[in-house]
Amino acid sequence: MSDEAVKAQYEAYPYPERKPTDERKRLITGSPSLPVEMDHWLWGGARDWTQPLRILVAGGGTGDALIQLAQLLTDAGRPYDITYLDMSVAARSLAEKRAKVRKLDGITFVTGSLLDAGASGPFDYIDCCGVLHHLEDPQAGFDALAGVLAPDGGMGLMVYAPHGRSGVYPLQAAFGRLFEGLSPEKRLKRAKAVFSALPDGHPFKRNTRVVDHEQGDAGFYDLLLHGRDRHFSISEVQNALAQAELEYAGCPEPVLYDPTPLVGELPEGLSDVEVQQLAEDLRGTFKTHVVYVRAKGAVVPPPFGQADAVPHLRAVAAADLAAHVAKTGGITIDTAGEAFHFDVAREAGPLIAQIDGKRSLSEIGAGVAEFDRLWSAVETALCGSGMMHYSRLFA
């Protein structure tokens, strides 16, 4: 499929499907590009947020990442300068309307390809989600983004993964052959008719993890009628990063890339990438890979256990989690259809209760003789599952 055909798709069906008026009642959030999560994986939890963050949202679509970043940084009172870039005029229009409803400023809207992003760089942070796997040459996209990244900057990337999208690619191929040359509107109508006749045993119909086709015409088209869509295993992601002189810095839920809960002891001599690939193949559920990356040799590890690190909780109240730990002596976290249990001493409950995004570990652990031991278990559970990050966003 040509660039013009891909563009025609997104002009007809901007993705994801959004209504600007919905911005008055909800904020869509998720990984990557949560400022606290970014700080944790890219800047050692120690970024100076008084300095403006220059951001590129590459292939911004209808604006989810753009709105998330601009709103969360506005709420935190932190300066930013965002460049939104997308080839679809229709998608850009929706993103602009969403920003207008929220009265967000500091945003420059540009229509164009991420391959031409060099005209606006360098950037401290680049968000690129759901785009690289739709390029004619995905590696050219990785390379182009690497070329506009500031030396101390980082990226949050998302590409499709194979196993969790079982059944998608045979349908894309079949629909491509059946409806070649038709307008996007006719392709959609014909595909929906054929889809309704598929047998219940089709791998796609047995895949309960993929639901985009149930979320409007844009979701159906992007999932099953896209003419240029390839998937990446985690090994292929890592290879593409290496070719672009980029380096993996972390991911939202590291526990998912650890196969040891499934197999116990691993064979000796496996590389980190081979371990991650084992986890992907054994779990078989990954629909996407979401990764944070920096320039090769520039990765800064999270500040685990460091006295001046400031922890933040995600999606749970500190008081509730503290009470649960104090009562049960553990945390069970359900993610991606799998339950992970972590032993956390009851004595850690009062420490968890103090997490407010402002207190440092030295303040939380003041006067606690066994703080290091207790906190290590908290970090393993909460940072590994993406429920806790270190950042000075509010400090």
Which residues of the chain form beta strands (DSSP E)?
53-58, 80-86, 107-111, 123-129, 149-160, 246-250, 288-295, 311-313, 330-335, 338-343, 388-390
* Distances, alpha carbon 225 to alpha carbons 68, 181, 184, 304, 334, in Å: 28, 12, 9, 44, 32
> What are the φ and ψ backbone dihedral angles of 273, each rounded to 5 degrees?
-65, -40
Burial class (CB within 10 angstroms; exposed 0-12, middle 13-18, buried 19+) of 80: buried
pLDDT at residue 1 greater than cutoff 80: no
With a CB cutoff of 8 Å and minimum separation 6, the contacts of 99 are 63, 66, 67, 70, 107
Q: Give me 330's structure tokens.
A: 């553990």
Say if CB 356 and CB 348 are below 8 A apart: no
Instruction: Read off the pTM.
Output: 0.96
Fill in the amino acid letter for 18: R
Instruction: Express each pLDDT in 142-173 by its tens digit.
Output: 999 999 999 999 999 999 999 999 999 999 99
Instruction: Express each pLDDT in 272-299 by its tens digit.
Output: 999 999 999 999 999 999 999 999 999 9
* Distances, alpha carbon 106 to alpha carbons 92, 112, 113, 283, in Å: 16, 19, 21, 41
DSSP state letter for 84: E
In percent, how much of the chain has pLDDT > 70? 100
With a CB cutoff of 8 Å and minimum separation 6, the contacts of 107 are 66, 70, 82, 83, 84, 99
Q: Give me 180's structure tokens.
A: 């070649």
Say if CB 316 and CB 280 are below 8 A apart: no
Rounded to an integer, the average pLDDT of 184-207 is 95
Q: Is 249 helix (H, G, I), strand (E, B) or coil?
A: strand
- Give the model's confidence band at 120: pLDDT under 50 very low, under 70 low, under 90 confident, else very high: confident
With a CB cutoff of 8 Å and minimum separation 6, the contacts of 174 are none
Q: Please report where in the chains the tokens 């278990």 appear, as a residue.
A: 377
Residue 123 CA to residue 149 CA, distance in Å, equals 5
Instruction: Express each pLDDT in 30-75 by its tens digit.
Output: 999 999 999 999 999 999 999 999 999 999 999 999 999 999 999 9
Burial class (CB within 10 angstroms; exposed 0-12, middle 13-18, buried 19+) of 180: exposed
Residue 317 CA to residue 299 CA, distance in Å, equals 30
- Give the model's confidence band at 260: pLDDT under 50 very low, under 70 low, under 90 confident, else very high: very high
* Distances, alpha carbon 362 to alpha carbons 308, 347, 358, in Å: 6, 17, 12
Q: Is 304 helix (H, G, I), strand (E, B) or coil?
A: coil
DSSP 149-181: EEEEEEEEEEEE-SGGGTTHHHHHHHHHHHSTT
In percent, how much of the chain has pLDDT > 90? 94
pLDDT at residue 219 greater than cutoff 80: yes
What CATH number does the domain located at 3-160+232-295 have?
3.40.50.150
Tell me which of 124 and 7 has the higher pLDDT.
124
Domain ranges of the chain: 3-160+232-295, 164-224, 311-390
DSSP state letter for 86: E
Instruction: Express each pLDDT in 327-374 by its tens digit.
Output: 999 999 988 788 999 999 999 999 999 999 999 999 999 999 999 999
Residue 263 region by backbone torsions, left for phi larger than 0, else alpha for psi between -120 and 50, else beta: alpha
Residue 336 region by backbone torsions, left for phi larger than 0, else alpha for psi between -120 and 50, else beta: left
